[in-house]
Amino acid sequence: MCATGFNAAAYQQSSRTVYGIVTEEVTGEVVIGATVSLYRDSIIPGKPAERGAYTNRYGHYSVRELKPGNYTMVVSNVGYKPYAHVIHQSQMPLTVNTGKRSEDTIDIRVDVRLELSDINSNEVVVTAERDRPAIERISSVTLTPEFIKDMPSLGGEADVFRVLQLLPGVQSASEISSGLYIRGGSPDQNLVLLDGVVVYNPSHLGGFLSSFHADAIRDVKLIKGALPAEYGGRLAAVVDISMKEGNKEAVHGAGHISMISAGIAADGPVDSTMTFMVSGRRFYGDLLASAFVPPDEMPTYYFYDLNLKLNKKFGNNDRVFISGYFGRDVLGSPASDYDNFDLAWGNSTANIRWTHILKPELFISTSAIYTDYNFGFDARETNYVDATTTNTTRFASSSQIRDVTVKSDVEWFLPNDHFLKSGIDVTFHRFGSGVTGEIDDDIDKYINKATINALDVSFFAQDEWKISDNLRTNIGGRLYYFNQGNWIRLEPRVSIAYELIPNHTITTSFAVAHQFLHLVSRNDLALPTDVWFPSTSNVPPSRSEQAVIGYQTTFNEGMWLFSIESYYKSMSNLIEYKVDAEFTLGVPLENQFTSGRGAAYGIEFFLNKRIGDFTGWIGYTLAWSTRTFPELNNGKTFFPRYDRRHDVAITFQYRLFEDLRFSATWVYATGQAYTVPSGLYVYDPSWSGGTRELFTERNAWRLAPFHKLDVSLTHELTIFSIQSELILNIYNVYNRLNPFSIYTDYSYNFESDSSKRVIKQLTLFPIIPSIGLRFKF
Amino acid sequence: MKTHPHHYEFTRRYGFYRPFVSVLTSGRILVIFFILTACEQVIDVELPYNKKIVVNAFVGDEFGVAWISRTVPIGTDASSQSSAIMDAEVKMKWQDSIYILGKNYSSNTFLFPTVDSRWQGDSLTLMIDWSGMHAASTARMPKPSKIKKVYLKPGEDPYDVSYLYAVIEVDAGVVVWTDYSIWRQPEAPMGFGRIPFFFEGDPDGVMREIEIYIMSNYNDVQPGSEIELSVYTADRVYNQYLKNRYHNNNEPFTFGGTNPQFNVTGDGIGLFIPVSVQTQRLVVE
């Protein structure tokens, strides 16, 4: 921890700005979202800080307009010991640059290093947390990778999205999916950012795992709706993930072996001004299986992901980050199969970013970004022409989205408690899709490919304004131009927080959002066959209008947070495939789409124990989500599959002993909305196979409720001088046979030599114990 | 308006659905992990029963049959015998004329009257009453398409097969499909097995000429050969049905199924399709 104070000469001036970077003591990594509070003279219980600020994603903060006097400066964040220092008039700065810019303004740089702490029950932290304005918490939650890693998980694989699914307002489509269905929106309506770069399909294993390796993550922030203007391009929510920058002091590493994958991450200094972080993860089931199954009889499946980040410091005010992500899933049939297929999909991203502190109150970030998502499918069917001759029919399809983005943002701390954020973002999108068919070994070919280029320009500005001690607002807007169709759209955004009495705040927000990129999904399949498609003159941008009203309170000295939020969101120009769509072949694809509208509304309750040996939350959501498409379901309104009337999650982590931690989650959700057979009919009596099923209206039936209990025990130990953690997970402790799907099938009766149509339920995951190992070096 | 011949063939072979479904149901998807843990069980659950009249009716020059049946609950046996409802009253209406369809108990079918050429270009309504339930469908019998010529088009390279095409004049918003005999002696029609071709056309009802693919020619047909070609023309509703008739899947990884797009309303499901037929003998150009 480094302590600093005011320059005595500067102190005589009328206005002061304190600014700097907050980093972690051991690693030197920046601390995101740390609270910087300046109390006049000293901390008095019940009296709020005179001035305050929060570090941005680069650890930068700035506090303006400090009047002459003594101050106690407190910098805190959950997971760290608080930095507290009495700043006295007579104190001279210790390690800071102090300069005079004008007659009226003194700039004082205070760089702070916070120490890690396991237990955060310190009174100062509590006070500072309590002082954090409620407007920062509207519809948003921040999670640390440590918390994520300690949660129970299937196969011991820590997964960011699986933990986010436990929050109120966030649903999962099924047990197999890590997709986030937030406040009635589908996963494509979420803006998923990895170090500011859009990741289009952030999943592995057919959607089972998210693409993000927990060992490489620094911070995860979820904003569930009514987004501030700084975020755009999606209707529903933001998942903003920051990667580690790299330890500035020494090379460190971490690794894990779960039942699903093994991964390793390392970070450290390159020199005194540069750090690195590299991580990799791979599914290893295929390698294990190869020991037992002949290679040509074994289907192929594996996934991997790689993260890399370099962080170079140029002086005190400039930094350059270079980061990249590469992930891929590969699936194929055994080589011995006559009819075989290959499937592959993956993301690649690269980002170079320059951040610059132009003035103490003015921070600039400029990035050049590349992101690519592609999906490919190739099926081959071999037919016998005669006893010795075969021919092959092949069908292959592909889709791709590739973006190149240049963006620049500024953060400006203005007088009178205004904090302005503004930025411009220019993205060039290239969408490609195609299909190739070959019949009888190239005798007949069918090739159809299409590419669409689109230019997307957006500008935003928002002002976080502390109008009074009780009233804060965030007012802003976002303006878009999308050249495919020449769409111009404006999005007003506003949030207001009013503290009725200390620690009791009501909040409200309203946001309009547009989405120019549509993930068009098949309703009937579970593969990542979905296609990203841009708005065109025939496909208008999707639009949502969301209003949120809430109440927040903290109690027991800030250890507990309780919030209620109610929301209503209307959506229009949502895109789905027509019922009679010709998948993939139907290029141009937009002819296969139909548009409709949606609505989502509900109320969320969240009780969160934030600090101490025992942490966790209880979340409950009562919600409705509907869709109405004139060309689907005969124009009748239907529930999407992920509509859940009731959704409950109870989760906690508890340190039993110094080296033993326990965590558990229990979830309950109303059953999936599902389409089931509601009768049989014979449609073509001349054909023996002419019996068909008549189905209900779309998703008109409910599967049985979903509930399960997961527990995890983490034992800290040292193996060969390596700090390790042995993790025992039990998934679905009471072996609830939750339905993944139901369907009709035939059951054969040997006694009567007849078969009967029966209804079957598929359960994916009964009770599954697993062990995992994590280690640090 | 031109169509690529292989569009039909690929659609026929795959329907652009089958590969994905075969991948999913082959037990390989979602990896060994899921396969090892997943379990299926027969469950005792009461699914809803939607009692409907089922209509399968085509009326045209060479055919005029309606199969009328009913849905039965899931878990009971459905057969053409047990689900047929021969006690239904089935009528067809054209303008002010009402025709009561006769019954053929041996084949469990209802029989349409002989086609009246005045029906062509006009709407027909089929009405079914059974056990207090009423189903109906109104559909247009398009004007018959006119065959202008039949000709061979060479393949893209010398070793490629050639393609037999026809130019026909069609009404707007119709489905056409062909049947042919390449020998001098005409063969029996192939029924509805061939892939229809949908012509959107202009909605003004003006007839247009279109080029339609008939078949790949493996040297069976030469210029000067004679061919008997039948062109069947139905309303666009048949095309809507054809495009999604195979979506009727209900499997573990397909999240339920969807019903085909029928044109029978009320207490019924199914199709009522009037078809105009034009048969001509032509010399291949």
Contact status of A693 with chain B (Cβ, < 8 Å): yes
Contact status of A684 with chain B (Cβ, < 8 Å): yes
pLDDT of residue B36: 57
- B259/A341 CB distance under 8 A: no
CA angle A543, A548, A552 (to 5 degrees): 155
Return the closest-CA partner of residue A323 out of A149, A152, A200, A193: A193
Structure confidence at residue A421 as a pLDDT band (50, 70, 90): very high
CB atoms within 10 A of CB B98: 11
Helices B5-14 and B18-25 sit at what angle, rounded to 10 degrees? 20
- A206/B253 CB distance under 8 A: no
Return the closest-CA partner of residue A309 out of A272, A353, A271, A357: A353
Structure tokens at A52: 């305050």
CA separation for the pair B176, A515 (Å, rounded): 40
Contact status of A551 with chain B (Cβ, < 8 Å): no
Residue B132 falls inside a structural domain: yes
Domain boundaries, chain A: 8-132, 243-776
Judged against a pLDDT cut of 50, whether residue A123 lies above it is answered with no
Judged against a pLDDT cut of 60, whether residue B213 lies above it is answered with yes
Residue B7 falls inside a structural domain: no
Residue B109 falls inside a structural domain: yes
Residue of A nearest to B14 (CA): A395
To test the contact with chain A by mutation, choose from B17, B20, B128, B254 the residue with the greatest count of A C-beta atoms within 10 A, namely B20
Mean pLDDT in residue range A435-447: 62
pLDDT in tens, A737-768: 888 888 888 777 788 777 777 888 888 888 88
CATH code for the domain defined by A8-132:
2.60.40.10
pLDDT of residue B18: 42
Answer yes or no: are the C-beta atoms of B165 and B148 closer than 8 Å.
Answer: no
Judged against a pLDDT cut of 80, whether residue A394 lies above it is answered with no
Q: CA-CA-CA-CA torsion for A449, A455, A456, A458, nearest 10 degrees?
A: 180
| B8 CB burial (10 A radius; 0-12, 13-18, 19+) | middle
B179/A731: higher pLDDT: A731
What is the least distance, in Å, from the CA of A771 to any CA of chain B?
A: 15
Judged against a pLDDT cut of 80, whether residue A441 lies above it is answered with no
Residue B260 falls inside a structural domain: no
> CB under 8 Å to B219, separation ≥6 — which residues?
none
pLDDT of residue A258: 86
CA separation for the pair B121, B140 (Å, rounded): 7
| B-proximal residues of A, 585-624, CB under 8 Å | 585
Mean pLDDT in residue range A252-278: 90
Q: Which residues of B touch A444 (CB under 8 A)?
A: 5-6, 9, 216
CA separation for the pair A500, A497 (Å, rounded): 9
What is the least distance, in Å, from the CA of B22 to any CA of chain A?
A: 10
Answer yes or no: are the C-beta atoms of A350 and A370 closer than 8 Å.
Answer: yes
Q: Write out the residue range of the structural domain in which residue B124 sits.
A: 53-142+265-273
Q: How many interchain CB pairs under 8 A, A with B?
A: 248
What is the least distance, in Å, from the CA of A398 to any CA of chain B?
A: 13
Judged against a pLDDT cut of 60, whether residue A662 lies above it is answered with yes
Nearest to A301 among B20, B31, B243 (CB): B31
Q: For B25, left (φ over 0), alpha (ψ -120 to 50), or beta?
A: alpha
Q: Which residues of B touch A765 (CB under 8 A)?
A: 37-38
Assembly ipTM: 0.80
- A744/B74 CB distance under 8 A: yes
Q: Which residues of B touch A343 (CB under 8 A)?
A: 23
Domain count across chain B: 1
pLDDT of residue A468: 87
Judged against a pLDDT cut of 70, whether residue A604 lies above it is answered with yes
Place of tokens 């590299």: A278
CATH fold match for the domains A8-132 and A243-776: no
> Would you state the CATH architecture of domain A243-776?
Beta Barrel (2.40)
The CATH number for B129's domain is 2.60.40
Q: For A617, left (φ over 0), alpha (ψ -120 to 50), or beta?
A: beta
CA separation for the pair A277, A198 (Å, rounded): 20
> CB under 8 Å to B238, separation ≥6 — which residues?
B175, B196, B271, B273
Judged against a pLDDT cut of 70, whether residue B28 lies above it is answered with no
The number of C-alpha atoms within 13 Å of A20 and in the hemisphere containing its C-beta is 24
> CB under 8 Å to B80, separation ≥6 — which residues?
A682, A685, A690, B67, B69, B108
